[in-house]
């Protein structure tokens, strides 16, 4: 084995009563790509933040290049040649690429010379690694793939020899992700060490040399990637066998429940986000809408669920029109049997400062079941919440706990339980498993398929292709506000990826 770039020995870190890292040992070989997998909350990000000097370990030792290192601030890490690409980019959105790159690494009290130096250095890095980006572009005008490239450049500009990437592909299209992997391989060839944190096992298999698995704050295993399987890694992550693809029978599509015709929606800036879309959703089927984030899926969901005005077109629910222009009242739609699990549970789906039991009836709080005269019937609400907690395995099972204190997966279950238990005819779900653990994903998928089998119509929007392919009976692909193709669940990832990138459309136009 090559010399170790980083050794972590006996790292412990607690946040209050939570032990985020317990006695972690890890050795990362120089010039390799090392994957770290684990569920959300397994302690991957905490471990890397300790390595980057964002937090201090309570105990343990870090060695960089064989020498014991004291990393107290990100500055120390940078000086040791450690660079980090964070999951949420650490960029100033209204600064130019150059300004972002020199921030904190300016060579002088005045900017002029720093900028000039960065510009020539950037040209060199571009040549060496194929990392092209316009140095004068403003960050917020760049697509996320390029923003990420700026983050990588930032680390390289500071002389990083060891590059840590935290969930780098969450925001990328399959093509962008492939490009990123090519860059990472090139970095490896140049002798850099790459640490890749992810929960997507496919990426681990595709690109890493070694992989370490974390579970509940401990390091469970380290494997050579070529000598392990996705199944084994998933089992190590969750601690039990996991169904990566949910079993389901053939769909028995019935009557049309939701008919969307020529729907056009504009966003607040007046840009057409949904462009003349038509499709039907039938009872007893799951229709998946695939697409790269930002191609109009969110606006489509919002228009159908009555949150956003539509410009033109019609939506029929059970044969009766939904008023789209006067902003259909989401409450009225609920009464008519259309339930909605929003994409962004933090801003739309839940009030995080509320207790769990309050969130589990939110939106249905006018239902006589939860009322006693003009007042809330607290006993009924608590009983209802406890019932849902049991049915959906929401943990911790305390209906009085503030919703913000639940993990992402359990928050999602609270929303799902609320909407599904109303027994709606049509269920619209945005990003059903965003930020949700592998174990909970399996559970949520099973519930959605059970809804389908009960004869409900389910519409799923997700940026996760695997999820769309595993759940859907029919797949619609959106690109630039239009539906550019319909495929069956047997469609390959490559085929869907091309559609998502709008490739088919250009070829068809030729």
The least distance separating other proteins from the CB of residue 149, rounded to whole angstroms, comes to: 16
Residue closer to other proteins (CB basis): 93 or 189: 93
State which of positions 85-114 bind other proteins (CB under 8 A): 86, 88, 90-95, 99-100, 102-106, 108-112, 114
The least distance separating other proteins from the CB of residue 223, rounded to whole angstroms, comes to: 28
Site mask, other proteins, residues 25-54, x = CB under 8 A? ---------------------x-----x-x
Retrieve residue 168's tokens.
């780098």
DSSP character for 424? -
Candidates 26, 36, 42, 78; binder of other proteins (CB under 8 A) is 78
Cβ distance 380 to 360 under 8 Å? Answer: no
Cβ distance 413 to 437 under 8 Å? Answer: no
Question: Is residue 70 a contact point for other proteins (CB under 8 A)?
Answer: no
Residue closer to other proteins (CB basis): 352 or 362: 352
The least distance separating other proteins from the CB of residue 304, rounded to whole angstroms, comes to: 29
Which CB contacts under 8 angstroms, 24+ apart, belong to 95-99? 95/138, 95/139, 96/135, 96/136, 96/137, 96/138, 96/139, 97/122, 97/133, 97/134, 97/135, 97/136, 97/137, 97/139, 97/142, 97/150, 97/153, 98/122, 98/135, 98/136
Question: Is residue 346 a contact point for other proteins (CB under 8 A)?
Answer: no
Question: Is residue 84 a contact point for other proteins (CB under 8 A)?
Answer: yes
Specify burial of residue 14 (Cβ count, 10 A radius: 0-12, 13-18, 19+).
middle
Question: Is residue 279 a contact point for other proteins (CB under 8 A)?
Answer: no
Site mask, other proteins, residues 451-470, x = CB under 8 A? --------------------
Question: Is residue 128 a contact point for other proteins (CB under 8 A)?
Answer: no
Residue closer to other proteins (CB basis): 85 or 338: 85
**Complete DSSP assignment for 188-239:** HHTT-EEEEEES-HHHHHHH-SEEEEEETTEEEEEEEGGG--HHHHHHHHHS
Question: Is residue 370 a contact point for other proteins (CB under 8 A)?
Answer: no
Residue closer to other proteins (CB basis): 106 or 121: 106
Q: To 10 degrees, the CA torsion angle through 200, 201, 202, 203?
A: 60
Question: Is residue 352 a contact point for other proteins (CB under 8 A)?
Answer: no
Give the span between the Cα atoms of 317 and 333, in whole angstroms.
9
Size of the residue set binding other proteins (CB under 8 A): 32
The least distance separating other proteins from the CB of residue 115, rounded to whole angstroms, comes to: 10
Cβ distance 40 to 27 under 8 Å? Answer: no
Binding site for other proteins (CB under 8 A): 15, 20, 46, 52, 54-55, 73-75, 78, 84, 86, 88, 90-95, 99-100, 102-106, 108-112, 114
């Amino acid at each position: 084995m090559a010399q170790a770039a980083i050794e972590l020995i006996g790292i412990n870190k607690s946040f209050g009563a939570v032990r985020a890292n317990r006695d972690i040992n890890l050795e990362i070989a120089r010039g390799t790509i090392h994957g770290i997998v684990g569920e959300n909350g397994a302690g991957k990000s905490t471990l890397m933040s300790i390595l980057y000097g964002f937090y201090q370990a309570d105990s343990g030792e870090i060695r960089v290049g064989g020498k014991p290192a004291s990393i107290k601030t990100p500055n120390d890490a940078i000086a040791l040649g450690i660079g980090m690409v964070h999951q949420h980019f650490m960029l100033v959105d209204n600064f130019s690429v150059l300004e972002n790159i020199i921030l904190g690494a300016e060579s002088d009290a005045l900017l002029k010379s720093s900028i000039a130096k960065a510009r020539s250095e950037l040209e060199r890095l571009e040549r060496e690694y194929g990392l092209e980006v316009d140095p004068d572009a403003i960050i917020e005008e760049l697509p996320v793939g390029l923003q990420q490239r700026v983050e990588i450049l930032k680390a390289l500009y500071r002389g990083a020899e060891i590059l840590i990437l935290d969930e780098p592909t969450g925001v990328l299209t399959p093509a962008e992700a492939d490009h990123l992997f090519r860059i990472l391989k090139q970095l490896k060839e140049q002798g850099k060490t790459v640490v890749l944190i992810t929960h997507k096992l496919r990426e681990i298999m595709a690109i890493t040399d070694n992989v370490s698995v974390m579970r509940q704050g401990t390091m469970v295993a380290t494997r050579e990637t070529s000598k392990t399987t996705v199944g084994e890694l998933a089992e190590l992550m969750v601690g039990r066998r996991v169904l990566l693809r949910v079993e389901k029978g053939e769909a028995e599509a019935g009557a049309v429940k939701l008919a969307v015709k020529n729907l056009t929606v504009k966003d607040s800036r007046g840009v057409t986000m949904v462009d003349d879309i038509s499709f039907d959703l039938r009872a007893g089927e799951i229709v998946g809408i695939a697409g790269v984030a930002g191609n109009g899926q969110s606006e489509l969901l919002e228009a159908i669920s009555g949150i956003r005005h539509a410009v033109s077109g019609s939506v029929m629910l059970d044969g009766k029109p939904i008023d789209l222009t006067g902003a259909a009242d989401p409450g009225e739609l609920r009464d008519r049997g259309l339930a909605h699990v929003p994409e962004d549970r933090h801003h739309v789906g839940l009030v995080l400062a509320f207790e769990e039991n309050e969130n589990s009836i939110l939106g249905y709080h006018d239902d006589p079941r939860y009322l006693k005269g003009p007042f809330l019937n607290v006993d009924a609400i608590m009983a209802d919440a406890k019932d849902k907690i049991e049915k959906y395995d929401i943990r911790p099972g305390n209906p009085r706990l503030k919703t913000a204190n639940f993990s992402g997966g359990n928050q999602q279950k609270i929303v799902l339980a609320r909407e599904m238990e109303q027994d709606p005819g049509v269920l619209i779900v945005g990003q059903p498993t965003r930020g949700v653990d592998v174990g909970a994903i399996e559970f949520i998928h099973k519930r959605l398929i059970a809804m389908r089998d009960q004869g409900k119509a389910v519409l799923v929007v997700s940026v996760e292709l695997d999820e769309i392919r595993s759940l859907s009976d029919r797949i619609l692909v959106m690109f630039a506000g239009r539906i550019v193709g319909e495929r069956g669940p047997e469609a390959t990832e490559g085929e869907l990826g091309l559609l998502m990138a709008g490739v088919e459309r250009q070829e068809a136009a030729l």
